Structure formats: structure tokens, C-alpha cells
Amino acid sequence: MKSEETTTKKKSLFAETRVSKEYKTTLTPGQFKTGSMVHRGKPTDQEWFQVYGNTMEDLEEMAIVQIPVGDRVEDYIIRGTKAFLDQATDLFKKVKLCTIVFYVTSNGKHGLWNVSIPSPNKENYVNAWVATANEIVEMAQHKWVKKQSDVGNGYYQGFYADEKDNQIFGEPKFKFGYEEAIEKSYDKFFITEETIETDPHLRTAMGKSLELKTQKLENRKFKK
């Protein structure tokens, strides 16, 4: 589904995150604003959702690295030239290619779901979670759907909304364009030629990666 493109001028990071004086005064006790947020994570098993675009080609494939940030782990997107992608892939462990899926739920929550790209293993099998996630994403580009995790069988089950629910949900209303959603959601979690030199979490992760590589080389020498 196509979004309602916005034409707002891009602001600096500080302008985007600074809280205005009017913000607190417009809220009632116990209320907080989420309308400008884009959640990072897949829809829950209880949420009906639709996905941006008409085909998978409308969605971008990007390289993702998981980086420790304090007491949690964050997904970072590698952004740059092919040469830089090769460099970053060599520096960090477990770089994975994902389709960045932009979705909106029936109650208006916007989110990005990093769906792994299907890739056969040595036995020519594709992970069932990955395969069914991609199928559900394609369905959700045209209908309201809900996924459910079938842990026992090791895959997602997909369900279409019935006619009554479709009438209640109506057409999906994307408040952001695709690229804008990625910028809003990932904010400072990009690996670029600049951030690889300045982001302390990336620097720490690179240091640990280099330590592991050095240890492996030393172990090989010792075995010889």
C-alpha cells in the first residue's frame, strides 16, 4: 500500500529529539505521545497489519548487525558503498541481509520488521520461520493479516481478516514514507564511514571483534 508522503524538511538530530515546551502541557496524566514514532520490531501475534508497497521489490534489502548497547542489543543498518559494506562485514560478526518491512497495524501503530532473506542451507533447505515470514509479508501488502508463531512446528501461520473486520479497519493509513520511516526508527543506529569512527558502541564491538580474530590467529600458530 502506498503511503501518504510527507514533504516536511529534514531536521537535525537535535531538532528531532528536543522536547517542545508545549509537549508536557498538552498531555493528560498517564498519557504519552507515540504518533511520530516508528516501532522497531515485528508485529505481535495479536495485531492485524498491512505492509507498505505492492510487491517485495518496493521494500529495500539492507545489511544488519547486532551491536551491544548498554544492557540491550540493537540492530544497526550498514549504509554506504559496496566497498564499505565489505569492510564492515569483515569488522563485525554475523552480518545478515534483511528486507526492511514497513507496516501499520489496524490501531495505527507503525513499525519496521527486519525479515531475513530466504537462503538455502547446505542441504538446500530454507528456514521455515524465514520462509513463512516472507510469505506473510507478501500477503500483507494487499490484505489485513495476522501472524501467529507456531512454536511446535517451527513456522509462522498467517490469517486473513474476515469481511467484517476489513470493514472496521478500512484502508491502511501510513503517516510516513518508507525512507522517512527508516530514518525515524533507526535514528542513530546506522553504521557509516562517519559513525564507525565516532559511535562508542561500534568502537567497542570492533575492538572485541579484532581481539577474537587475533586469538584465532594465535591459536592457529600454536597448533602448528
pTM for this entry = 0.75
Question: pLDDT band for position 186 (50/70/90)?
Answer: very high
Question: pLDDT band for position 7 (50/70/90)?
Answer: very low
Give the mean pLDDT of 56-81: 92
Give the mean pLDDT of 161-179: 95
Would you list the DSSP string of 36-92? T--EESPPPTT--EEESSSSGGGS-EEEEEEEEETTEEEEEEE-S-HHHHHHHHHHS
Residue 12: the pLDDT is 35
Q: Give me the helix-helix angle, 82-91 and 200-223, nearest 10°.
A: 60
Q: Which three cell numbers stand for residue 184?
A: 525515524
Residue 90: the pLDDT is 85
H/E element, 45: none
Cα angle for residues 84, 188, 96 (degrees, 5° grid): 50
Residue 196: the pLDDT is 87
Question: pLDDT band for position 173 (50/70/90)?
Answer: very high
3 state SS of 146? strand
- Compute, in degrees rounded to 10, the torsion defined by CA atoms 209, 194, 99, 41: 80
- What sign does the CA torsion over 126, 145, 44, 27 have? positive
Please give the mean pLDDT across all residues of the chain: 81
Question: pLDDT band for position 179 (50/70/90)?
Answer: very high
pLDDT greater than 80 at residue 11? no
Residue 1: the pLDDT is 58
Give the mean pLDDT of 145-157: 96
What is the distance, to the nearest Å, from the Cα of residue 13 to the centroid of all Cα atoms in its chain?
A: 19
Give the mean pLDDT of 63-91: 90
Rg (C-alpha) for the chain, rounded Å, is 20
pLDDT greater than 50 at residue 19? no
Give the C-alpha separation, 146 to 19, whole Å: 35
pLDDT greater than 70 at residue 165? yes
Give the mean pLDDT of 164-178: 95
Percent of the chain with pLDDT over 90: 57
Give the mean pLDDT of 137-146: 97
Burial (Cβ within 10 Å: 0-12, 13-18, ≥19) of residue 123: exposed
Give the mean pLDDT of 107-114: 96
Helices (H) and strands (E) in the chain, counts: 8, 9
3 state SS of 67? strand
Residue 187: the pLDDT is 86
pLDDT greater than 90 at residue 224? no
